[in-house]
Amino acid sequence: MLFIEYPKCSTCQKARKWLDERKISYEDRHIAEKNPTVEELTEWYGRSGLPLKKFFNTSGLKYKELGLKDKLKDMSEEEQIKLLATDGMLVKRPLIVADDFILTGFRENEWIEKME
């Protein structure tokens, strides 16, 4: 399982602690140092069953700076994915990529349902 995080993010820290307490093994990846690629994001989005907007860090400074709240609705999915791949800070985190599920953000009930 891949755990994609921004280490300074308090939600990511909480999620990491949650995984560690349950002794769930994962490969760690720093989102700002190794941003997901267009290919990865396309695959994960396709497998996730989630709306593409769930992959955006809508509370992030970069999202707000770029005015994406208003711009996304006029962009194709392909354009949105390409945009996400340009900057890890645009991507919702933590992001869990497992063989049979993808999770964006840390909502404990969802994580319990998928991992316990």
Q: What is the pLDDT of residues 71-105, one digit of tens each?
A: 999 999 999 999 999 999 999 999 999 999 999 99
- Main-chain phi, psi angles of 22, to 5 degrees: -95, 5
Read off the pLDDT band of 116 (50, 70, 90): confident
pLDDT per residue as tens digits for the range 1-57: 999 999 999 999 999 999 999 999 999 999 999 999 999 999 999 999 999 999 999
pLDDT of residue 35: 95
Structure tokens at 56: 């955006």
C-beta separation of 1 from 25 below 8 A:
yes
pLDDT of residue 62: 94
CA–CA–CA angle 36, 87, 106 (5° rounding)? 65
What is this structure's pTM?
Answer: 0.93
